[in-house]
């Protein structure tokens, strides 16, 4: 576990000094929210219907920009090669990256959510506390898969373009569950339990697969 801790502290320290990922994500997500509210001009009931989708898609687009940097940052000075030679299990390094990025995206969400409520004049009609389940579960699905695919696409041409191309199709069911659960909570018209369970299942399945296959991807020759 010490390797996990070392990598996590290193990633957090880099982010603390540069604040690249959080700032770019925050501004990008804010832009998407503003663009959507200008494009659709949402009013009370309609705003509640689409708000969940807008929030999820904004976070999805924003995190791709940060996830692209997650491993690309390590290419400079051949850090990636050094890590490949180090005897640490890849799974720990992967988990450290996921935890760090999960934290960044969660911070962005925490800042963005109040702005969002103001822009869309939202009142939560369902059980608001369930959002504290839905958003972390959805974020985990996004960040775990995104970190994995970022490592997968790191050595290809056009890697910044390739990441969304391979991440989005796989992420579709999680996005659907996240959007429907958020919508159900905001409108209070249906029960989000099924979608929360589905998100949890998705997280378990894909996190397990990522942990098992990460070494294969990381050491691919």
Partner 1 sequence: MKKVSISLYAAVTVALLIWGYYQAIFVAPNDAQQGEIFRIIYCHVPSASVAFTFFFINLVGCIGFLASRHDYPDRAQKFDAWALAGAEVGVVFCSVVLTTGPLWGRRAWGIWWTWDARLTTTLVLWLIYVSYLLLRRFAAGPQMQTLAAVLGIFGALDVPIVYMSNRWWRTQHPAPVFFSSAPGAGMAASMLRPFLWNMLAWFAWGVLILILRFHVERHRQQIAAREAEAALAEP
Distance between CA 81 and CA 171 in Å, rounded? 29
Cα separation, 195 vs 127, in Å, equals: 14
Instruction: Give the integer Cα–Cα distance in Å for 125 and 187.
Output: 5
- Given a contact cutoff of 8 angstroms between Cβ atoms, the answer to whether 153 and 92 are in contact is no
CA angle 115, 25, 30 (to 5 degrees): 30
> Position of tokens 């934290």?
103
Instruction: Select 26 or 174, whichever has its Cβ closest to partner 1.
Output: 174
Q: How far is the CB of 206 from partner 1 (least distance, A)?
A: 7
Residue closer to partner 1 by CB (options 117, 162) is 162
The minimum distance between CB 47 and partner 1, in angstroms, equals 22
Report the nearest approach of partner 1 to the CB of residue 68 (Å). Answer: 14
What is the nearest approach in angstroms of partner 1 to the Cβ of residue 71? 13
Residues that bind partner 1 (CB under 8 A): 149, 152-153, 155-159, 161-162, 165-166, 168-170, 172-173, 176-177, 180, 194, 198, 201-202, 205-206, 209, 213, 216-217, 220-221
Instruction: Estimate to the nearest angstrom the gap between the alpha carbon of 148 and the chain centroid.
Output: 12
Q: Which is nearer to partner 1, 122 or 167 (CB)?
A: 167
Q: Which is nearer to partner 1, 112 or 182 (CB)?
A: 182
């Amino acid at each position: 576990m010490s390797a996990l801790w070392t990598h996590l502290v290193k990633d957090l320290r880099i982010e603390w000094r540069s604040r690249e990922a959080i700032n770019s994500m925050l501004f990008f997500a804010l832009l998407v929210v503003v663009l959507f509210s200008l494009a659709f001009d949402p009013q009370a009931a309609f705003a509640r219907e689409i708000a969940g989708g807008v929030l999820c898609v904004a976070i999805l687009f924003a995190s791709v920009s940060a996830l692209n940097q997650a491993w690309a940052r390590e290419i400079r000075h051949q850090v990636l090669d050094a890590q490949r030679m180090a005897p640490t299990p890849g799974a720990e390094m992967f988990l450290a990256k996921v935890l760090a990025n999960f934290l960044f995206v969660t911070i962005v969400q925490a800042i963005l959510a109040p702005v969002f409520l103001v822009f869309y004049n939202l009142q939560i009609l369902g059980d608001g506390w369930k959002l504290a389940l839905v958003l972390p579960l959805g974020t985990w699905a996004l960040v775990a898969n995104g970190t994995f695919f970022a490592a997968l696409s790191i050595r290809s041409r056009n890697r910044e373009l390739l990441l969304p191309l391979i991440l989005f199709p796989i992420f579709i069911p999680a996005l659907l569950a996240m959007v429907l659960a958020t919508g159900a909570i905001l409108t209070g018209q249906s029960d989000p339990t099924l979608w929360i369970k589905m998100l949890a299942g998705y997280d378990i399945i894909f996190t397990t697969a990522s942990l098992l296959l990460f070494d294969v991807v990381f050491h691919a020759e």
